[in-house]
Amino acid sequence: MVHFPVGLLCVALLLEILDWRKKSGTLREAINILTVVGALSAVVAVVFGLLLANSEESAGDTFAIHKWAGIATMSLSVIACLAIRLKQRIMYRSVLLLTVLGVSFAGHYGALLTHGENYISEVLPSSSSDEHMVEPEGTDEPDFVMTNNGALSPDQVQQLNVEVRTILAHNCYSCHSETKIKGDLRLDSKEAVMQGGEHGAVVVPEHPDKSEMIRRITLPRNDKEAMPTKGKRLTEREVKVLKFWIEKGAPWPDGKLKSIYRVASLEPRTPEIPAASGGIDKPIDRFVNAYFVKNKISWKPVVDDRTYIRRVYLDIVGLLPSPEQVDTFLADSRPDKRELLAKELLNRNSDYAQHWLSFWNDALRNDYTGTGYITGGRFDITKWLYTSLEVNKPYNFFVRELISPTKDSEGFIKGIKWRGTINSSQRTEMQAAQNVSQVLLGLNLKCASCHDSFVSDWKLADAYAFANIFADTLLEINHCDKPTGKIAGTRMLFPELGEISVNASTEKRLRQLADLLVQPKDGRLYRTAANRIWAQLMGRGIVEPVDVMDNVPWSEDLLDFLASDFAATGYDMKKLIYNIVTSKTYQLPSSSVKEAQDIVAQNYRFTGMVRRRLSAEQFSDAISTAFTPMYADSAVMYKSLPADIKTKLPFARASVVKNDPFLTSLGRPNRETVSTSRTSQANLLQALELTNGDKFTETLKAGSKVWKVKYPTTDLLVTELYRKALSRKPVPNEIAAAKRILGPKPSEESIQDLVWAIALVPEFQLIY
């Protein structure tokens, strides 16, 4: 009744634009009516808005902005009506445009008031907003919440506080926090909770029955005093947790003495390697064996040679083995042939570099086209990255050159200069702070770049102090994009690593930061790298998600060993990969998960590699290897490779070409944000692209022409296709099915159909 008619002003502007372009004047009367009705509605909206604000006792900066923006919009709409009466067309159009901008601005802040700061992002299907809470450690139905009648241990107090703060953040902060303070009540700090609101205390420690908070959240939904007033009600468990918390005295540590969130150790640790037993002799396997014994898990027989060669080829160089390579490996009788194969693949420097280029492009936001490249506000690091991978640059030097960059590697630190007005958390200095912390240290500063984080103890001041290391001038702290007048200092996220010279030049500060981060005593840097490589090869990190290194690892000893051994062997990335792929653990049969979220479940139990789908680049290269090159002339970096390398490459690898709809549908990200993992779940877009996409269809057509000439008989064609695509010969029922598709005389269309069918089977699309 109130707000919809105001939207008519937007329609009036649209009609005015149409009328102006057509120069017909036929819409003039309708435009005038819409403007007058919209202006009257704006007046009514302001009146009712003020009445509503008084009844709900709204307060805070967001409310103030919404109120004055609404009043300004009303005033502009009235001026627009006067311009109509005075027949001042130019004035009318200018004021109407400002009015519509006012409607949008006021409407946005109104939505912030009623639905919270993430009212848009939280409803998007692919939302990965940092505001979304993650379940903290130990909250998967902890028994003590439901059964404990005595004193809580320090760990239980921590777990309980994480749960309580998460419940309040999810359900209460939209009305009772710094951005909006209904009833003079805030629930985002210990002092505010204990102070209560205008009607007195809401929490009475040790007495949930006397606490107004409990009374309000247990009232019937239709009761006018029931809380929360908007959105879903608290679950039965959430109510029990809040009751239990108050019953135990409403403990709320201030965070100054002890973090209420788990923080992983910074310093390195070299755990004692468990004893060898029963043929379990490699260090990785000994740690896994200790985990298996503890969790009553039995070792399974390792995979056969055919499965292993396909798995290790795809993981190290991203390509399918040729039929000849498979036959040679199967015929090899040497007991250490798997170790020898891993060494051989790791020595294929160009193939290795082109495969792992995708992994690091995702993490470092490096691409060949996209936002920022047109305007010169973004720099690629492709040549530096390719060379670093090809020569197997030690990881400490790799990190040093990213943070204290050369001209070729500065794109990571420079970030993306977005066009137009951006919020303060997206400025390039803050991007650098966020990206370095996420990629290299496995921690999330994105929430803390806007406000104190709800999911960790990182504060807004911490994020700005770290961002100042990358800034030419000290940054003013902005809280939710509003200037505070405070200037942050300049310091490391982990002061134990050392100090940064505040008065030094930016170049010198970056050099100091690089030196401090790559120190051997920064165990977090090397744990994060080891965990990322393990996750890439095994389908799941020892810590998951890989960007939340403060989460509990399923084997802390294994993670610490991998990191310490990584440092002790010269930060050699290939050596780390070799140790993993030659372990018995890597050679265990793969397993699957029923739901994507099972990967990050707190009760996850490791039993071996998690089966995963080929990446976009692996799938494209598999088609190129088995059937026909998908990319030959559209390469970007391929053209700049040295001539001696290009002569060895039969086709342009998908990792070195610019993104397109085909690669996007298969999961290649746009790389405008850090992407450290890709979903392994099939989706509708992928299905549509593989069934109707032009790129895939044209590739199959081109390949079918070649195959028809090269393999004129059905039996030969089917056998070779299976050997190239699936690394094996077809079984009788597959031959029969293929013959039904091909017919007595294979045509280009029937060959295309058969290849399409094989490309869609799980055996081709998955790494087993």
**Residue 258 binned pLDDT confidence (cut-offs 50, 70, 90):** very low
Q: Quote the CA–CA distance of 239 and 216 in Å, as a whole number.
A: 11
pLDDT at 103: 85
Q: Which residues on neighbouring strands pair with residue 610, listed in sequence order?
A: 591
* Length of the chain (residues): 768
Beta-carbon contacts of residue 103 (< 8 Å; ≥ 6 apart):
6, 7, 9, 10, 73
Question: ∠ at Cα 398 (393, 399), nearest 5°?
Answer: 160
Statement to judge: residues 40 and 80 lie in one domain: yes
pLDDT grade for 59, boundaries at 50, 70 and 90: low
341 is a domain residue: no
Q: Is the pLDDT of residue 219 over 80?
A: yes
* Contact partners, residue 7, CB within 8 Å, separation at least 6: 38, 103
The domain total for the chain is 4
Would residue 496 count as lying in a domain?
Answer: yes
Sign of the dihedral through C-alpha 754, 760, 761, 767: positive
Measured CA to CA, the distance from residue 424 to residue 437 in angstroms comes to 18
Domain end call among 465, 495, 517:
517
Instruction: Report which of 237, 117, 128, 234 is spatially closest to residue 173, judged by C-alpha positions.
Output: 117
pLDDT of residue 361: 97
Q: What is the pLDDT of residues 744-757, one digit of tens each?
A: 889 999 999 999 99
- Once rounded to an integer, what is the mean pLDDT over residues 668-694? 89
Residue 139 has pLDDT above 60, yes or no: no
Separation of first and last alpha carbons in the chain = 59
CB 27 within 8 A of CB 19: yes
Q: Is residue 432 part of a domain?
A: yes
Same domain, 620 and 760: yes
Which pLDDT tens digit goes with each residue over 197-216? 888 899 999 999 999 999 99
Residues 570-603 have pLDDT tens digits of 999 999 999 999 999 999 999 988 777 778 887 8
Helix (H, G, I), strand (E, B) or coil at 613: strand
Q: Which of 248-257, 506-515, 685-694 has the highest mean pLDDT?
A: 506-515
Query: What pLDDT digit, counting tens, does each position of 287-319 carry?
Result: 999 999 999 999 999 999 999 999 999 999 999
Q: Report pLDDT digits (tens) over 539-571.
A: 999 999 999 999 999 999 999 999 999 999 999
Where is pLDDT greater, at 373 or 518?
Answer: 518
> Does the pLDDT value for residue 58 go beyond 70?
no
Lowest mean pLDDT among 125-134, 266-275, 477-486: 125-134
- The answer as to whether 752 is a domain residue is yes
C-beta atoms surrounding 511 within 10 Å: 15
- φ, ψ for residue 406 (rounded to 5)? -85, 180
CB 67 within 8 A of CB 50: yes
Lowest mean pLDDT among 21-25, 155-159, 227-231, 556-560: 21-25
* 604 within some domain: no
pLDDT of residue 148: 61
Which pLDDT tens digit goes with each residue over 393-422? Answer: 999 999 999 999 999 999 999 999 998 888
Nearest to 358 by CA among 644, 46, 654: 654
Are residues 159 and 142 in contact, defined by beta-carbon separation less than 8 angstroms? yes
| 87: region left, alpha or beta (phi > 0 left; psi from -120 to 50 alpha) | left
- Is residue 621 located within the same domain as residue 754? yes
Residue 721 dihedral angles phi and psi, to the nearest 5°: -65, -45
Closest CA to 611 of 590, 584, 585, 581: 590
Report the alpha-carbon distance of residue 619 to residue 621 in Å, rounded: 5
Q: Which domain holds residue 194?
A: 143-247
User: Among positive and negative, which fits the CA dihedral 556, 558, 560, 562?
Assistant: negative
Mention every residue, 6+ apart, whose C-beta is less than 8 A from residue 670.
Answer: 367, 370, 371, 659, 664
Report how far residue 712's alpha carbon sits from residue 658's, in angstroms, rounded to the nearest whole number.
Answer: 36
The one-letter amino acid code at 548 reads: V
Six token digits for residue 87: 């027949």
pLDDT for the residue numbered 133: 33
- What are the b/e assignments for 349-386, b being 16+ CB within 10 Å? ebbbbbbbbbbbbbbbbbbbebbbeeeeebbbbbebbb
Helix axes 556-568, 283-294, angle to 10 degrees: 170
The 3-state DSSP class for residue 177 equals: strand
If one counts every other C-beta atom within 10 angstroms of the C-beta of residue 674, the result is: 17
Same structural domain, 434 and 476: yes
What is d(CA 223, CA 141) in angstroms, rounded to the nearest whole number? 30
Spell out the long-range contacts of 325-330 with Cβ–Cβ below 8 A and sequence spacing 24 or more.
326/723, 326/727, 326/728, 329/305, 330/305, 330/306
* DSSP tag of 121: G
Range with the lowest mean pLDDT among 33-37, 52-56, 318-322? 52-56
- Give pLDDT, residue 575: 98
Query: Is the domain of 735 the same as that of 676?
Result: yes
Arithmetic mean of pLDDT, 117-135: 43
Preceding omega of 545 cis (within 30 degrees of 0):
yes
**Distance, CA of 28 to CA of 19 (rounded, Å):** 8
Structure tokens at 614: 């080929």
Judge residue 332's burial from the number of C-beta atoms within 10 Å of its C-beta, 0-12 exposed, 13-18 middle, 19 or more buried.
middle
Domain boundary among 488, 517, 546: 517
Q: Do both 643 and 763 map to the same domain?
A: yes
pLDDT, greater one: 162 or 79: 79
CA distances from 227 to 189, 221, 224, 249 (A): 19, 8, 9, 22
Looking at the structure, tell me whether residues 661 and 743 fall in a common domain: yes
**Do 762 and 646 sit in the same domain of this protein?**
yes
**C-alpha atoms less than 13 angstroms from C-alpha of 211 in its C-beta half-sphere:** 24
Are 69 and 206 part of one and the same domain? no
The chain-wide mean pLDDT, for the chain, equals 87
Question: Residue 646: pLDDT band by 50, 70, 90 thresholds?
Answer: low
| 198, 487 contact by CB (below 8 A) | no
CB atoms near residue 726 (< 10 Å): 18
Q: Residue 596 carries which DSSP code?
A: G
Range of weakest confidence among 5-14, 327-336, 479-488: 5-14
Question: Mean per-residue pLDDT for 648-673?
Answer: 89
Please give the DSSP secondary-structure letter assigned to residue 205. Answer: T
For the cut 90, the answer to whether the pLDDT of residue 340 exceeds it is yes
For residue 645 the two structure tokens come to 């390398």
Confidence class for position 46, pLDDT limits 50, 70, 90: confident
* Two structure tokens written together for 368: 């060949």
Q: Residue 530: which pLDDT band, with cuts at 50, 70 and 90?
A: very high
User: Is the bond leading into 228 cis (omega within 30 degrees of zero)?
Assistant: yes
Q: Is the pLDDT at 12 greater than 90, yes or no?
A: no
The residue type of 224 is K
> Both 681 and 759 in a single domain?
yes
Residue in 160, 168, 181, 164 with CA at minimum distance from that of residue 228: 168
Task: Convert 202-216 to b/e letters by CB count within 10 Å (16 or more is b).
Answer: bbbbeebeebbbbee
Rg over alpha carbons for the chain, rounded to the nearest Å, is: 31
Helix (H) or strand (E) holding 181: strand 180-181
Nearest to 43 by CA among 10, 70, 81: 70
Interatomic CA distance for residues 93 and 88, integer angstroms? 9
As a whole number, mean pLDDT of residues 368-376 equals 89
Q: What is the pLDDT of residue 257?
A: 36
Residue 186 near residue 177 (C-beta atoms within 8 A): yes
Residue 253 domain flag: no
CA 259 to CA 276: how far, in whole Å? 38
Q: Is residue 321 over pLDDT 90?
A: yes
Query: 68 and 147: one domain?
Result: no
- Residues 21 and 149 grouped into a single domain: no
**Residue 124, pLDDT above cutoff 60:** no
Average pLDDT of span 346-371 = 96
- Taking the C-alpha atoms of residue 204 and residue 194, their distance in angstroms, rounded to an integer, is 8
Q: In DSSP terms, which residues pair with 657 in a beta bridge?
A: 635
Confidence of residue 129 (pLDDT cuts 50, 70, 90): very low
Check pLDDT > 90 for residue 2. Answer: no
Phi and psi at residue 247, to the nearest 5°: -60, -35
Q: Assign 277 to helix, strand or coil.
A: strand
Flag whether pLDDT at 96 surpasses 70. yes
Instruction: Determine, yes or no, domain membership for 243.
Output: yes
> Dihedral of the CA atoms 92, 98, 102, 104 (nearest 10)?
100
CB 577 within 8 A of CB 316: yes
Distance CA 297, CA 303 (A): 18
Across 650-663, average pLDDT:
90
Q: What is the pLDDT of residue 123?
A: 47
Last residue of a domain, one of 470, 486, 517: 517
Reported as type and span, the H/E element at residue 485 is strand 482-487
Q: Quick check: is 282 in a domain?
A: no
Amino acid at 7: G
pLDDT of residue 4: 67
Sequence-distant (6+) residues with CB within 8 A of 128 are none
Closest residue by Cα to residue 60 from 175, 199, 167: 175
